[in-house]
Amino acid sequence: MSTKPSHLYAQDLVAGYTSRPDIRGVNLEVYKGAPAQGITGASGVGKTTLANALVGALKPVGGRVTFNGKAVSRLRLGEKKRYEATVRKVAQNGFFGYDTALTVRRVVEDELRAARKTGRGSGKSIEEVLDLMFLEDRFIDRKLHTMSGGERQRLSIALALTTAPDVLVLDEPTTALDATLKDKVSARLRDIVAEREIGLVVFSHDLNLLSRLTPTVHVLSDGVFVESGSPRDLLTDPHHQATRDIAEAYPEAVRALRSLED
Ligand SMILES: Nc1ncnc2c1ncn2[C@@H]1O[C@H](COP(=O)(O)OP(=O)(O)OP(=O)(O)O)[C@@H](O)[C@H]1O
Ligand SMILES: [Mg+2]
């Protein structure tokens, strides 16, 4: 068996919905066990489009996405199922594609079954799955449509973790969480990602969240990464106009960081 870590690789990726695709030449490499990466950019710039192309939910218009050397868009059904359990995306807004009339019990059971079928079962109970994201047992018999936005976001993350993914792609994972829960969820995510050596990619406009989860952030603008650096460097010494615009949205963070340097 290969000892090489799982490798998700986007090369010259072009992806989008119109004749002028929003993603126009992105390169990104994600290894299991490597430091996490963040991707930021203005609303509508193409973060979700890139996330979808990266996990194989959207076919590239150009370039390619490979996982361990194989083009993701050409995986056969069985391989695709294994891939979807190995490289997981948590969709923006807690949208997980389940019928919202289903109960939490049913969707967690389905995920645990899928995990076993793809050889990625963890032997965890429903309670343990929920507890990872601070959801109490009282949620087990609730229907999805009765859950709040923040509860759904946390459930989506917990579901994604059931298959012990090698790569986890989070799209704006904490937008509906209050400050306390954002702290708890980001700290828990950091621990789980480190412990299980998950290759993490986080898409967010929230540099504060990214600074807790990812040492490196890429700035997406006009279809490409225009600048990469630590969240701190991007805030205090932005080079590209797109990065300056983002930094300006965080005047308090920038002032706090600058005063630390003085
Ligand atoms: N299914 C679709 N069909 C057509 N256009 C789409 C579709 N999904 C997104 N778009 C368009 O593609 C562009 C990029 O959208 P995307 O959702 O990737 O942006 P984003 O950076 O994730 O924004 P936000 O920060 O608001 O989540 C937008 O102009 C959007 O309207
Ligand atoms: Mg988005």
- The domain that contains 89 carries what CATH number? 3.40.50.300
Please list, in sequence order, all residues whose beta carbon lies within 8 angstroms of the beta carbon of residue 56, skipping any fewer than 6 positions away: 65, 72, 73, 75, 80, 83, 84, 87
Per-residue burial over 189-221, b = 16 or more CB atoms within 10 Å of its CB, e = otherwise: beebbeeeebbbbbbbbbbbbbbbbbebbbbbb
Gyration radius of the chain over CA positions: 18
Using a pLDDT cut of 90, give the percent of the chain over it: 83
CA separation for the pair 67, 4 (Å, rounded): 12
Identify whether 2 is part of a domain: no
The confidence score (pLDDT) of residue 200 equals: 98
The confidence score (pLDDT) of residue 31 equals: 96
Q: Range of 190's domain?
A: 7-261
Instruction: Report how far apart the first and last C-alpha atoms of the chain are (Å, whole number).
Output: 53
H-helix or E-strand containing 87? strand 87-90
Q: Give 161's pLDDT tier (boundaries 50, 70, 90).
A: very high
Give the ligand at the shortest distance from the Cα of 47.
Answer: 1
* 95, pLDDT greater than 80: no
Question: Among 23, 26, 40, 48, which residue has the most ligand 1 atoms within 8 Å of its CB, making it the best to mutate?
Answer: 48
Name 64's bridge partners: 11
The three-class DSSP label of residue 152 is helix
Q: Whose CA is nearest to atom 6 of ligand 1?
A: 17
Give the pocket of ligand 1 (CB within 6 Å): 17, 22, 41, 43-49, 92, 205
Number of domains in the chain: 1
Give whole-number Cα distances, 194 to 27, 131, 173, in Å. Answer: 24, 18, 18
Q: Whose CA is nearest to atom 4 of ligand 1?
A: 17
Question: Out of 39-48, 217-226, 252-261, which region has the weakest mean confidence (pLDDT)?
Answer: 252-261
How far, in Å, from the CA of 47 to the mean position of ligand 1? 8
The confidence score (pLDDT) of residue 250 equals: 78
The confidence score (pLDDT) of residue 261 equals: 66
The confidence score (pLDDT) of residue 2 equals: 53
How far, in Å, from the CA of 213 to the mean position of ligand 1? 24
> Which among 26, 96, 14, 92 is positioned nearest to 59, based on CA atoms?
14
Q: Give 73's pLDDT tier (boundaries 50, 70, 90).
A: very high
Q: Which amino acid is at 92?
A: Q
The confidence score (pLDDT) of residue 134 equals: 97
Tens of pLDDT, residue by residue over 112-160, are: 998 998 888 888 999 999 999 999 999 999 999 999 999 999 999 999 9
Identify whether 98 is part of a domain: yes
CA separation for the pair 49, 226 (Å, rounded): 17
Strands 199-203 and 167-171: parallel
Tens of pLDDT, residue by residue over 195-246, are: 999 999 999 999 989 999 999 999 999 999 999 999 999 999 999 999 999 8
Using the 8-state DSSP alphabet, how is residue 143 labeled? B
Sheet with strand 7-15: strands edge to edge: 23-31, 7-15, 62-67, 70-71
How far, in Å, from the CA of 220 to the mean position of ligand 1? 13
Identify whether 1 is part of a domain: no
CA separation for the pair 19, 216 (Å, rounded): 31
CA separation for the pair 84, 118 (Å, rounded): 10
Q: Give 256's pLDDT tier (boundaries 50, 70, 90).
A: low
Torsions phi, psi for 172 (to 5 deg): 45, 65
Identify whether 74 is part of a domain: yes
Q: Give 262's pLDDT tier (boundaries 50, 70, 90).
A: low
